[in-house]
A and B are shown apart, each in its own frame.
Chain A
Amino acid sequence: MKLANFRYYLSQSLRSVVRNGFMSVSSIFTVMCCLFILGLFLIISMNVNSIADQIRNQCEIQAFIADGSSQRQITEIGERIRALDNVREAVLFTKKDALDYMRKLFADNAQALDGLENDNPFPDSYKITLKDLSQAGTTVVSVGTITGVKNVENKQALMDKILAVTGKIKDASLWLMLLLCVVSVFIIANTIKLAVFSRRREINVMKFVGATDWFIRWPFIIEGIIIGVSGGLIAFGLVSWGYIAVLKDVDGAISLDMFRFVPYPGIWHILLAAFIGLGAVIGAAGSSLSIRKHLKV
């Protein structure tokens, strides 16, 4: 593509976007809505992903220590746990830690826990991370036989359930995103169809003065891309703004160790690339579809 040509295509496309002002704006708006919803699901997916990762990393068993064990006994239990083959790490989670954790969990209603400091009902425990999760069952038994261990909780079943749910959420959002992309493609195709009709005289002239097929097509393709990318950029702005607001509101309230939201600075460039890329691809696909059908060159 020659530079002179590109300049021409771009000016033609912009001209057409402006001339079909109402159509352009409404299709930018629709694409924006689709990409906005898509963006929400993208963010949800990212968070679900990150939660799943966090869960996987935390997939631990917890060994609760019998009440009234001495400090020495507790340390000894820890050493015996760490001596087991499949144990990567065992971290002491004291009664006090447990209470603090509950306080955090209750957040605003933490006063319900007031007064428990002196009569803390939570047992001391070890949080144990494993080397090989598939061997969790055997390890649970081994840990259970250590004297002073009251009972062992294996969170794996729960984790498996959560992972299954997050997997389903991810699948569902993927399909929904795909659907929204298809909808956007058709909306752009329709706009380009109208642009082709409103310029049919011009296209006729182009043909008889000897324009190549692609010379006639490019401005329409670029017009579709402009609409797609514009919608994408606005959607990016809205999604970013919304997510930052949500993070600000929510982060204090439920910043559990397990469910931490993906921080915005870590994902904005992925979002931006996704929005621009999707907008461009959707725009190009929409206009190609329309041109194939309506632009007989």
Chain B
Amino acid sequence: MITFENVTKAYDNGTVALDNISFHIDKGEFVFVVGPSGAGKSTITRLLMHEELPTSGSILVDGIAVQDLKRPEIPYLRRSIGVVFQDFRLLDDRNVYENVSFAMQIVGASRREIRRQVPSLLSMVGLSHKAKLLPTQLSRGEAQRVSLARALANNPPILLADEPTASLPPKTAFEIVELIGEINARGTTVVMATHAKDIVDNMKKRVIAIEDGLLVRDEVKGGYGFETR
């Protein structure tokens, strides 16, 4: 589903964020990308979304070479990847329902499709009863659930989560990861960047560890492995 082949990314200022990285993720996998802050985890997300281009190497998403995409094709790549971030990125002037339906309007979904899909997404993340609330009226955990619902609105085969639990209290963090686990169980390929040791150790999933832009470990049922400060 996702292949990195000798990918190197140096930013314009010379920072080498990824250094000759290769890995392959199959359809339906759940993979943690771990590493200390500044290791290059978010850079992987940016490359997958075509927000940044690799300096060398190639990236395949569902058989498509991301670095070769033409500008008009980029939105369609992004539709096949749902993303959630540490800071949720919800729109504060729209309620929960509208934040999710927004993602569907953007791809030109009909009102009928939206009316059918959004409630089922909200019930999946357990927020049916809060559809009318504004993001500012939600707890952080609830906000992340909304952002998960939005990420899945257009049924993407891939879910990228960039430190989705970093700003959550431990109990809520576990609930979110459980929810992401459920989403994975329904067939969505999940790539989750994190530096939450206990979560990674607990889930016993595949772990890709990077440090200073180098892939240092790729284990099938791995633990976090880094010293936590």
Binding site for B on A (CB under 8 A): 2, 4-5, 8, 201-202, 204-213, 215
- Across the interface, A210 reaches (CB within 8 A) one of B71, B110, B154, namely B154
Inter-subunit contact A201/B89 (CB<8 Å)? yes
Contact A4 B79 (CB under 8 A): no
A-B pairs with beta carbons under 8 A, tally: 52
Question: Nearest-CB distance from B82 to chain A (Å)?
Answer: 8
Chain B residue at smallest Cβ distance from A211? B106
Determine the chain A residues whose CB is within 8 A of the CB of B72 once the complex forms: 212-213
Contacts of A8 in B (CB 8 A): 105
Q: Which secondary structure characterizes the binding site on chain B?
A: helix
Given A4-B108, A4-B111, A210-B107, A204–B89 Cβ distance below 8 Å?
Answer: yes
Tell whether, in the assembled complex, residue A201 and residue B83 are in contact, meaning their CB atoms are under 8 Å apart. no
CA distance A205 to B79 in the complex (A): 12
Partner of B49, one of A5, A206, A208: A208
| B154 A209 Cβ-Cβ under 8 A | yes
Q: Which residues of B contact A207 (CB under 8 A)?
A: 78
Measured CB to CB, the closest approach of chain B to A109, in angstroms, equals 68
Q: What's the Cα separation between A211 and B106 when bound, in Å?
A: 5
* Chain A residues, CB < 8 A from B75: 210-213, 215
Min CB distance A137 to B, Å, is 68
Contact of A206 with B108 in the complex, beta carbons under 8 Å: no
Per-residue 0/1 for B75-103: is the Cβ within 8 Å of any A Cβ (1 yes, 0 no)? 11111000100000101000000000011
Q: Are B79 and A209 in contact (CB under 8 A)?
A: yes
In the assembled complex, the CB of A273 is this many whole angstroms from the nearest CB of chain B, namely 33
B102 cross-chain contacts in A, Cβ below 8 A: 205, 209
Contact for B79 among A5, A202, A210, CB less than 8 A:
A210
B150 within 8 A of A: yes
Chain B residues with CB under 8 Å of chain A are 49, 51, 71-72, 75-79, 83, 89, 91, 102-103, 105-111, 150-151, 153-154
A residues less than 8 Å from B89 (CB atoms): 201, 204-205, 208
Q: Are B91 and A205 in contact (CB under 8 A)?
A: yes
Check B103 against A209 for contact (C-beta < 8 Å): yes
Q: What 3 pairs across the A-B complex have the smallest Cβ distances?
A: A210-B79, A210-B78, A211-B106
The chain A residue with its CB closest to the CB of B103 is: A209
- When the two chains form their complex, are residues A210 and B106 in contact, meaning their CB atoms are under 8 A apart? yes
The one of A2, A5, A209, A211 in contact with B150, judged by C-beta atoms closer than 8 angstroms, is A209
Distance from B115 Cβ to chain A, minimum over Cβ atoms (Å): 12
| A210 CA / B150 CA spacing, docked (Å) | 12
Q: How far is the CA of A206 from the CA of B107 in the complex (A)?
A: 9
Nearest Cβ distance between residue B71 and chain A, in whole angstroms? Answer: 7
Q: How far is the CB of A292 from chain B (nearest CB, A)?
A: 15
What CA separation (Å) do A202 and B93 show in the bound complex?
10
Taking CB as reference atom, which chain B residue is nearest A204? Answer: B89
- New A-B pairs, 13, CB < 8 Å, besides A205-B91, A209-B106: A4-B108, A4-B110, A204-B89, A205-B89, A205-B103, A209-B153, A209-B154, A210-B77, A210-B78, A210-B107, A212-B72, A212-B75, A215-B75
Q: Distance in Å from the Cβ of A102 to the closest Cβ of chain B?
A: 72
| Shortest Cβ distance from residue B226 to the other chain A in the assembled complex, whole angstroms | 28
